[in-house]
Structure 1
Amino acid sequence: MLTTLSALVPVILVIASGYLIARTGLITGEQWRGVEQLAFYALFPAVLFRTIALADFSSFPTLNMGGGLLASISVMALVLLAARTSIEKIWGIGPTRYTSIFQGTLRWNAMIALAIADNVAGDTGLAMLAVAMVFLIPVLNIASILVLSRYASGTAPSSAKIARDLYTNPFILSIAAGVVWNVSGLALPSMIDDTLEIFSRAALPIGIICVGAGLDLSSLRRPGPALTMGTFLRPVFMPLLAFGFGSLFGVTGTALAVMIIASAVPCASNSYLLARQMGGDAKLMAEIITLQTLAATVTIPLALLIFT
């Protein structure tokens, strides 16, 4: 427990620092967008490429981890879809607000997960987390878009745009490039490796500072059924499913801990942008992201304590 807390507390404090920096006006709104783009398009891709390129995938259960995570999100997605009508009848949560619950339960903040995995297990944790991203990012993006196009009021993007968004995603591209380099058996030139390592040292703190800057505590209303459900379904049930399927697939040790981390971290910040773009309940989405991130200071340590 103490080891877990010692790994998580620095991440939480850096998130809090991002919130304070944003609220003091040291960095303005437009400047934050530039910092976020730097992290998204340059720093994190450098981390992912270097981590995957140098990883020894034979040393951990890559396919078992991926299969367990896909099974977890598939079961949760099917339960949410099957319960949609009941959710509306019992709690009066309409289709548009339901889409925010769906995203809030299934999508995950890879930046926070990478930072925690690095603190918990170092380079091995980063490599395993990158494996989780390979399996989850495309599936969750497509699932969220399909649910929003079905239940929200916005215009659904074409299949061509969905495909373009996936194959131009810098995370996916950097992971794919890392896999190709890894399979090639070539060593990274020392100057390239050193350069990417410098980028990597900058990526994690900058990324989670941006997470803190994006928190909007003033947006929180009095909790109702939609906000409560959207906030707590993920941290309560997703780690449970990840543990169950991880155990079923024979995943143990650090690999299982990384699966729990990927399942316990808060919802992805860009869920808000997708909700706004496609006519979902963007305000509810922002509230879910904020409340989940605050709750994560308790729920992530508990999940790791209980399931690892």
Structure 2
Amino acid sequence: MLMTLAALLPVILVIASGYLVARTGLITGEQWRGVERLAYYVLFPAVLFRTIAGVDFASLPTFDMGAALLSSIVAMVIALLMLRPVLERVFGITGPRFTSIFQGTVRWNAMIALAIADNVIGEQGLAILAIAMVFMIPVLNIASILVLSHYASGTTPSGAKIARDLYTNPFIVSIGAGVIVNVLGIPFPSAVDDTLEILARASLPIGIICVGAGLDLSSLRRPGPALTLGTFLRPVFMPLIAFGFVHLFGVTGPAQTVVIIASAVPSASNSYLLARQMGGDAKLMAEIITLQTLAATVTIPLAVLLFG
């Protein structure tokens, strides 16, 4: 566990530095939005494209890993939907609050996952995680939108809008472009590769600094059932479910570790934006993300130690 924690400690410290930078006012709110957009639309797509374009798919358990991840997601989605009436009857958790618990449990922060995979496994970890994103991002986006449209008070998006959100997602576009380049064996000049490498090196530190800047400790209130469930269902049960499916599909080695990392990291930061746009409980969503990120200093090392 000490080795895993040592690999995670730099990521944790960079998240903390982002929080401190934001609280000192060195970078203001609107400036942070610009940094986040730079990471989301330029830097992370660069690392994903370059990684996927150069990975040897034949040497990795691509489809077995994808099956394990998708099975884990589907199992958790079904469990949450079955629990929905119980949560309302026992704890009085309304539809909008349930959507925040749902997003907090099934969605994942790809920026943190990439940084951890790079630190724990190295370049191969980035490649495996990029492949995992191919399977996870579309499914999680669609599931979150459908649950919010059904249980929250927001406007139900059309099928065309859901499709547009997916094919304009910079992560999906960059992964798709990388797959095309890889499969067709298209070479690109060394100058282009060097440029992408520079952008890729910048992506992880900037991305996780933005994660730290987004933490809002002042918004936290005394934990109730909704906040407790939303915070701990994911780090406790998702790695356990994923562990069962990686064994079922025969996924081992670094790929198994990546599946556990993807299952253990906190919920995606943009879950808050989706909750706000579609009538979910945005305040609860922000609290869940904050507490999960703080708890990740303990829960991720334990998950990797026990299941990775």
Q: TM-score range by the shorter chain?
A: over 0.9
> 1:155 and 2:155 equivalent?
yes
Q: Which runs of 5+ in 1 are unaligned?
A: none
> 1:24 and 2:36 equivalent?
no
Q: Deviation of residue 156 (structure 1)?
A: 1.4
Per the alignment, residue 121 of structure 2 pairs with: 121
- Report how many aligned residue pairs link the two structures: 308
* TM-score, normalised via structure 1 length: 0.99
Per the alignment, residue 142 of structure 1 pairs with: 142
Q: Secondary structure at the match of 2:122?
A: helix
Per the alignment, residue 97 of structure 1 pairs with: 97
Deviations, residues 137-179 of structure 1 (Å, cap 9, x unaligned): 0000000000000000111111111110100000000000000
Per the alignment, residue 130 of structure 1 pairs with: 130
Residue type at the aligned position of 1:43: L
Per the alignment, residue 68 of structure 1 pairs with: 68
1:282 and 1:159 map into 2 onto residues whose CA distance is 24
Per the alignment, residue 77 of structure 1 pairs with: 77
Deviating above 3 A after TM superposition, structure 1's stretches of 4 or more consecutive aligned residues are none
> 1:272 and 2:275 equivalent?
no
2:59 and 2:190 map into 1 onto residues whose CA distance is 23
2:187 and 2:8 map into 1 onto residues whose CA distance is 33
Q: Deviation of residue 122 (structure 1)?
A: 1.3
Q: Deviation of residue 186 (structure 1)?
A: 2.6
Residue type at the aligned position of 1:56: D
1:234 and 1:222 map into 2 onto residues whose CA distance is 20
1:187 and 1:159 map into 2 onto residues whose CA distance is 36
* TM-score, normalised via structure 2 length: 0.99
1:188 and 1:62 map into 2 onto residues whose CA distance is 24
Residue type at the aligned position of 1:38: L
2:247 and 2:80 map into 1 onto residues whose CA distance is 23
Residue type at the aligned position of 1:79: A
Instruction: Give the superposed CA RMSD.
Output: 0.6
Q: Deviation of residue 7 (structure 1)?
A: 1.2
> What percentage of aligned pairs have identical amino acids?
78
Residue type at the aligned position of 2:99: T
2:155 and 2:218 map into 1 onto residues whose CA distance is 29
Q: Secondary structure at the match of 2:222?
A: coil
1:59 and 1:33 map into 2 onto residues whose CA distance is 39
Per the alignment, residue 232 of structure 1 pairs with: 232
Per the alignment, residue 34 of structure 2 pairs with: 34
